[in-house]
Structure formats: structure tokens, C-alpha cells
Structure 1
């Protein structure tokens, strides 16, 4: 809802700006038209230039450009003056309310930041950061690894697949273990590249040399590539024209990046980027909570568990979360999920309350089974 309000406020300003621009362009066109007429008349020997200039002055006075522009410009200025107020109303300028005093290992944080620069290809920035912090030496090892990856990606931008093919060949077994067909996709691009040059015999020779190891599992794809040989001189006008799309290179480059990070034991997305993106999503409910809890900053600092539900998108859900169906609270290390003899699961604190600290049996809230608390076992996800 807040994002919609923010968009509506921006759209109002953008609309006023477009109206102002259109009106300004209209007035300028009128002025240019009158000036061009005056020039054309002065170039003719039948007109006195003084009378022409006098007539031009009269026309410009009638156009009254300042008067025409005043209205739309005023409306734009009003909209622009209101927009910052709308931003302040919708966007909380002070996010420090949701901040908690948590001790961080500065060296670890610096390593994460430096690694982020390296995995984004910002090697000079990463080197400068390490130089200024004097820490994060462990991140230096990541530099050479990601530098190798970016060298392959830069070569692919120049349509040079040799570095990527060599890397894929060296890591062929690991790629197969991950279920990746990256090596075949690289050979696929190289085959089409050779064929695109019009070298049909060379393309066939390349296919015989490099496609054989993949024939067992990818015969249909290889057969399609062989069909391209029939159109070697007019591939762009053939049923296989889609193989020439630059998008194919982008897809393989993304797969190369993903597999490279996977073999390094690193996530495809930067941990720092994921953390910030998740924080942006989780910030609004925390700020609302702190507005309600104004004056209780100390209580907020001492809480071990978030007092409000923070819903994040699926891409930020990396592990299972159990919410007790009785207490409606998330499980914690002190209050783990417990598997009962009937197969249903409750949190430990709920079981303790219902069993009076294991002093008696109780009915399962989901089935008629009698539960002995001492027989419940901790469940690990």
C-alpha cells in the first residue's frame, strides 16, 4: 500500500513535468516559426528589414511566451514542493529505531564486504578496501578465484569460449556430479559460432570430436545441431535461427557463474546483497513496532526473539521454521519442536504446560491420543 502511494505521488509529479515540457516545446516551436518567417522575409529584397523586425517583435509580444509558460511551470513547482513531504510521510527517514546493539566481529564483516567486491568483479575497489582496513586477508584468496571467473566472462563477451571450455574440461567430473550440462552448452555455442562463419566441414569435425561424450543423454539436442549443417550458408533464415540469439550467450554465462560459485562452495548471490535485500523487506514491520514501542528502547534491546512476524519472500527462506500450533510461537534453541508418540509436533514449552512439567499425561490437541511427555523426542529439521 505504501509503495503504491509512493508511486502515485511520483506519477503526479511526472505528469506535471510532461505537461510543462510539452507546453514549453509548443511555445518554442511558435517562436522558431516566427523567427524563420522573419529571416525568409529579410532575405527577400522586396521587404525592409526594419519593418520585418518590427512585425517579429509584435508577433513575439502576441505569443507572450512567459505568460503561456507561467501556469504549467507553477503547477510543476507546487507538485515538486509537495513531493518531499509525501516521501517523508511514506518513507521513515530514521531507520535507526530498529537497530539493535549487537557485537560484530569487524574482521569477519570486512571479509564479507571485500569478498562482495571481488565476486562483483570490482577488484580495484576490493583491493582499496583491504588496504584501508588493514584486515580481511582471508578475502584475498577469493580475489584470484573470482578473477579467473571474470576473465572467462570477459572473454565470452568477445565471443571467445576457449578459457571457459578449458575450465569446464578440467572440472568436467564435478560438473557431472552437480547434474550440470555446462560443458555441452559451451560446445553448443562454439559449434554454432564455427558454423556461422560458413565453415561447414570444420563444424562437422568439431561436432564429431566434442559431442560424442554427451550422446547418451543429449542425443535429441545433438541431432538438432546436426540439422543446422543443412543451412550452413543461410542459418539466419533457417528453422534454427534462434540459435544465433545473443541471449543464448547470456544464459550460458549465467550458468558458468552459478557453477563456478558452486564448485567454490559459494552461493550464486552475494551474501551481502542477500542480507541487505532481506533487511529491506524486514525493516518496515520493525519500524512500525518501534513506533508503537516508543520509549521502550531498552526492552527492545534485551529481546532474544523478534516480537513481530517478519514475512520474507521465498528466496530468503533457507531453512525450515516450525511454529507451535498451540502457542503460535516459532521454535528456538530453548523451546525446540518435540515429536509426540502420535506423530504430531508441539514446542517443548507447550508440552510442559499441558503435562504440568511431565507430571501427568495429556491429550494431543489434534487427535485423541494420550501423550506421555517423557516419551516425546526433540525434532531437528
Structure 2
């Protein structure tokens, strides 16, 4: 979503509001000053004739007419209202409320949708709400991840209150799996526990904990263990030691994030909820889809009947989950109708490029990257 125009319009409104406030305040202050000056003058000539007092009031009226506070305030407010009206039009243009235009009637597997929503609720720790959905929608399969996600959520709750024992028990139980994928989660948990013991119970207890816990990690984390042993010399003053980074609160957040990722990996699940990623990507793509639907409707084309997007929808890199192939000849990205094709020489082109080079399969052609002669019938589709 392009928010640049919204930000620029907002800045103009903000600037105009400040100018309006300044002009209004100046007009009010000047009016009050003239009235107070006239009042003081009248008090000073209390014993004078009515003609003198009338002259003071006429002079005040003349000055107020010159200042014209009502006109000044009205003009400033009119300029502000004009800028505000333009800002409203910008908001209406960017944040189009009629999102139905981007809607396409697509057949969904209702059972799959129910499972995705239930698993999302379990990921958020809303287990009672997830159970309610599973029961009312009659989707018992959706509860298959409840137990492991409940265990993960339970361990994370303890991690946030600096209780590492449940997470350590989980890491010990899954030690071989974690080791096979090269994870250092268990050592990170022990490292946090060592520092916690050192700060709460003292040097002796921390040394005993190290003897019991660090032996199996010596081969992979010797330098880290040596650094932990050295910080024992600063047991009572870690805050002003060369090892003060070990007590940074960010370590707890980092380990909690790593723990969540490892749990999801062992469950064969993505770290981020598929439902959340889908909705976020859809929200980012919505302005482009609305614009496309509007343009197509003006050309009397049916948006709902299209099999693929006629334009590129730009999304952030965090939403790129699959490899993309662009044909080196046509410079176009491969699609379902124009897939990448592997030639006998090992080079890859898109199907349409091969058909053009082969004149619709009627003759052999030379590979653009090597002298090999290729026939279209010898090419086969590949999948990334």
C-alpha cells in the first residue's frame, strides 16, 4: 500500500493547523490587549466627561475594526477546512472502503479453512476458543496439534517468567533431533540457567551447575564455556565486568524466539501462523487488486474469470517462499501456462521461448548458451 501520498497530505494538514492556531491566537491576543488598554484608560479618566469616555470607546472600536479578529479567524479556518477536505479525498482514494470489488468467488475446502483457524487459535494460546470451534464445526482432525502447541505455549509462559526447567526438559527429550539439525538451543538454555544461578545463588552453585550441564557441549561450544567460567571471577559485579552482555534481557527474548522456531520445526509447521501470513499478504496486495479490478471493469473485462494475474503484485521479501524462474531469453517469469523446460544440454528456458526457437516444434534449434542442437520434443518440464 502506497502511504506516501497520505503522509504528505497529513503533513500539509498538520502545518496548516499550526498556522491557523497561530493566526487565531494572535488575533485574540491583540483584541484582548486593545480592550484591556481601553479599560485602563477609562479607569484613568473616571472623573472626566462622558464625551472623553465616548472618545476612548470610539477609538477602541476603530482599532478593533482594523484588527478585524472575526475575519482573520474565519479566513484561517477556511484555509484549514479546505486542506482537511483535500486530505479526506486522499484517504478515500487510498483506503477504498469498497473491497468487494477485489473479491473473487473461489471454491474453498471448508474443512481445511476450519483447521487453519483452529490451529491459529491454538498458536495464540486460545485453547478453549479453539476447542469450541473444533466441537461446533465438527472438525476433530483440527485438534491434532493442540497437545504439542499447548506444551510449547506452556513452556514459553515459564520462559517469560525466567523458569527454564520446562524448556530444558523439552530440549533433553528432543536432544538427538536438535543435534541432527545443528541446533544450539539446549546449550543456550543451559547458558541462561547458568547465569541465572550465578546471580541468584552465587559462585559455588553456578560452578556445580556447570559441571553437571556443560560436559556434553564441550566439543561444540568450548569458547563459550570458557567465557562463562571466566565470568565467575566477577560474580558479584557482572554489571561492570567484561561479561555484562551475558545478563542482557535480550538473551531471554532471543532464546524464547529460538525455542518457538524449534518447536514448530519439529512439528513440521511454519513458525508464523499461515492464517496470519495470508491475511497480512492479502492486506498488502489489496490496493493493487482494487485498482486492477477497477481498470478491468472500465474495460468491461471480467475480473472473476481470470485464471492468473495480468500484473505483478509487489509484496515484501518476507512473503517470498518459493523459487522464481525468469526465462533468460524472454525475460518473463515462468507461469503455469509457460513453465520452465530443461533442455538436453542442461540449460533452462521457458516453454514459449523454446516453441518460438523451434518454430512450433517443426525444427531443431541451437541452444542460446552452448552449441548444442536441441529438439523441442527432447525438452521436459522441471519444477523448482
> TM-score, normalized by length of structure 2?
0.78
Change (3 A) 1:100 1:235: same
2:2 corresponding residue in structure 1: 2
* CA RMSD of superposed structures (Å): 3.2
Deviations 1:160-180 (A, max 9, x none): 111111111111111111211
2:12/2:83 contact within 8 Å kept: yes
In the alignment, what sits opposite 1:100? Answer: 104
> How far is the alpha carbon of 1:377 from its aligned partner?
2.8
Q: Aligned residue for 1:254?
A: 257
Structure 1 distance, partners of 2:2, 2:297, is 22
Greater C-alpha radius of gyration: 2
Residue 372 (structure 1) shift? 1.9
Tell me: CA distance 1:68–1:235, structure 2 relative to 1, closer, same or farther (3 Å): farther
Cα gap change, 1:345 to 1:73, in 2 (>3 Å): same
Question: Displacement, 1:80?
Answer: 5.1
- Does the 8 Å contact 2:118/2:142 carry over to 1? yes
- What 5-or-longer segments of structure 1 have no aligned partner? 27-65
TM-score, with structure 1 as normaliser:
0.79
> How many residues matched?
342
For the pair 1:113 / 2:139, whether they are aligned, the reply is no
User: Does the aligned pair in 1 maintain the 2:118–2:133 contact within 8 Å?
Assistant: yes
Q: Does 1:272 align with 2:275?
A: yes
Is this contact kept in 1: 2:297–2:303, CA < 8 A? no
CA contact (8 A) 1:286 1:308 kept: no
Give the corresponding residue for 1:320: 323
For the residue of structure 2 that corresponds to 1:299, the secondary structure is coil
Is this contact kept in 1: 2:260–2:271, CA < 8 A? yes
Q: 1:332 to 1:71 in 2, by over 3 A?
A: closer
Partner of 1:86: 90
User: Which residue of structure 1 aligns with residue 35 of structure 2?
Assistant: none
Query: Is 1:199 the equivalent of 2:202?
Result: yes
Higher relative contact order (CA 8 A, sep 6+): 2
1:184 is aligned to 187
Q: Equivalents in 1 of 2:23, 2:138: separation in Å?
A: 58
1:156 paired to 2:159: yes
Q: Aligned equivalents of 1:165 and 1:248: distance in 2?
A: 16
Q: Does 2:214 match 1:211?
A: yes
Q: Secondary structure at the match of 1:175?
A: helix
Contact 1:338 1:348 in 2 (8 A): yes
